[in-house]
Structure 1
């Protein structure tokens, strides 16, 4: 089955320290109040045969573990905003979102279908793998 053998390709990557400028909503406000050390964003195109998805990943390094825990709490709450995707053509719905924390590093990942019919469970798995 094509969904079992995906191929992934990085389509863009960028790094900055201007985290708040690339965030929305309450996530932006949190990053204004708790400055990050670095933000890396990447976009991956994932093909499952003729079906395609995009996985958007952000790695936010905060100044302390406490600030990272606070950021994760805000970004994990529905409707509080997010880190903008590198590719502005990507629209994130928040339906297939995962995050992880490792010390001062918070990773967020979200998967969205692009073409064809990628099952929700497959998108959820892609986001979980990218976050963890």
Structure 2
């Protein structure tokens, strides 16, 4: 793809409830997660644009709970895991460039936003499509 990582920060949490909101937070109160890893990475797309990508890896005790969580976070207006880090000045995460992936007991959630320049919608979507395949930090 010709992209280059500019910056990366990550954090591990043991409790998902305080790091979520809406119906998703209520879900975690009834079904606590086993582990939460969150990461913010900024990449250069090789065309003069930078993209901020936030990724969360949520490990649940059972595959059925992970499936229920994915169904919930994928529905608009139900809340989500709080993104790690801040969107760069002049940009913001809106939920528009979003993707998630389910792998047994693991739910991976990614969202992207322009950090500088004017990356295309296709580029922003590609960023989340790739990010949900990242291994946890």
User: TM (normalized to structure 1)?
Assistant: 0.92
User: What is the CA deviation profile of residues 34-69 of structure 1, one whole-angstrom value per residue up to 9, with x for unaligned ones?
Assistant: 000000000110112421110100000001001000
Counterpart selection for 1:30 from 27, 30, 42:
27
Q: Give the aligned partner of residue 73 of structure 1.
A: 71
The residue that corresponds to 2:82 in the other structure is 84
Residues of 1 paired with 2:10 and 2:97: CA distance?
A: 21
In structure 2, the partner of 1:117 is 118
Q: How does 1:1-132 map to 2 (within 5 A)?
A: 4-49=1-46, 50-89=48-87, 91-132=92-133
The SS at the match of 2:65 is helix
CA RMSD, Structure 1 to Structure 2 (Å)? 1.3
**How many residues are treated as equivalent by the alignment?**
129
Q: Which runs of 5+ in 1 are unaligned?
A: none
Contact 1:10–1:42 (CA under 8 A) maintained in structure 2: no
**What SS does the aligned partner of 1:69 have?**
helix
- Distance in 1, matches of 2:102 and 2:78, equals 18
Higher helix share: 1
Deviation at 1:88, TM superposition (A): 3.5
The unaligned stretches of length 5 or more in structure 2 are none
